[in-house]
């Protein structure tokens, strides 16, 4: 209901009655103060940056790899990137499979800890990929010379690519391992040098990228193509489903 002053101006809520004229302006001034304050108090609070991130990114990728981020997007998963920097050293007596799974788990746990420090409680996905050649682990080359040596070892031979994936939530850890077999064609020294000169091999396990120019070297592949790239999508989708992270979203 409205209250009216002697001049017909609407006033505050109450029964209808007239007010002395000298109170008219005071009443209207009161309205001008009360209404904006009431409106302000009822405005929705702006979302914090962390709330915005959690709404639009249901997952944190504990990796700086653009290939893994691209593969997640391929199955409809948006992820916030949190690079992790850990020492990747093979322990004495450690098998290649144990090594790659340990690295993936350590990266994921560290990424989860980094996000928790920022007050972000999103699930974290971490992964690691290694090349195994007759029991020897081939990681990322330290320079062009080492890249050439690795490619010469792989030339004309069959090797294994192992990628371990971990998804960590506040209450659980889910793990998976993908192993594929890749056969390389015989590579000439000049072909190896030309490929290394492109710089493509320098940040890749085994010194090659199957999704890049090295695709021409692959004679046969048995297993997961995305796993060789660095993130096996079948296994990853299964882990995300277990962690209740929706796939195929826009």
CB 159, CB 131: distance < 8 Å: yes
pLDDT of residue 134: 96
CB 163, CB 100: distance < 8 Å: yes
CA distance 153 to 206: 10
pLDDT of residue 11: 52
Per-residue pLDDT of the chain (250 residues; tens, 9 = 90+): 444 444 555 554 444 444 455 554 544 444 444 444 444 445 555 444 444 444 566 899 999 999 999 999 999 999 999 999 888 899 999 999 999 999 999 999 999 999 999 999 999 999 999 999 999 999 899 999 999 999 999 999 999 999 999 999 999 999 999 999 999 999 999 999 999 999 999 989 999 999 999 999 999 999 999 999 999 999 999 999 999 998 865 4
CB 92, CB 71: distance < 8 Å: no
- Sorted by where each begins, the domain ranges of the chain are 1-43, 49-242
Dihedral angle sign, alpha carbons of residues 224, 229, 234, 238:
positive
CA distance 111 to 77: 18
CA angle 97, 102, 107 (to 5 degrees): 135
pLDDT of residue 132: 98
CATH of 49-242, one of 3.40.50.300, 2.60.40.10, 3.90.950.10, 3.30.830.10: 3.90.950.10
Q: Taking the model in full, what pTM does it have?
A: 0.76
Q: Is 29 a residue of the active site?
A: no
Among 6, 29, 128, 143, the active-site one is 128
CA angle 187, 191, 196 (to 5 degrees): 110
CA distance 165 to 127: 4
């Amino acid at each position: 209901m409205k209250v009216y002053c002697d001049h017909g101006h609407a006033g505050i809520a109450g029964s209808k009655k007239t007010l002395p004229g000298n109170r008219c302006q005071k009443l209207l001034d009161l309205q001008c103060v009360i209404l904006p304050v009431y409106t302000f108090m009822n405005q929705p609070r702006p979302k914090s940056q962390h709330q915005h991130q959690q709404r639009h990114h249901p997952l944190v990728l504990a990796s700086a790899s653009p290939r893994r981020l691209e593969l997640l997007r391929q199955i409809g998963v948006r992820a916030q990137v949190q690079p992790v920097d850990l020492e990747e050293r093979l322990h004495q007596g450690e098998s290649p499979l144990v090594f790659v799974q340990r690295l993936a788990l350590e990266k994921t746990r560290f990424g989860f800890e980094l996000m928790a420090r920022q007050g972000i409680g999103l699930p974290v996905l971490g992964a690691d990929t290694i090349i195994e050649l007759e029991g020897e682990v081939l990681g990322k080359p330290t320079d062009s010379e080492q890249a050439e040596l690795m490619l010469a070892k792989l030339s004309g031979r069959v090797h294994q690519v192992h990628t371990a994936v971990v998804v960590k939530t506040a209450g659980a850890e889910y793990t998976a391992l993908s192993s594929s077999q890749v056969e390389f064609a015989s590579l000439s020294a000049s072909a190896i040098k030309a490929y290394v000169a492109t710089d493509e091999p320098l940040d890749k396990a085994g010194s090659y990228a199957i999704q890049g120019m090295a695709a021409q070297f692959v004679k046969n592949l048995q297993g997961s193509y995305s796993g060789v790239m660095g993130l096996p999508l079948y296994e990853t989708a299964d882990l995300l489903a277990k962690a209740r992270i929706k796939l195929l979203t826009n």
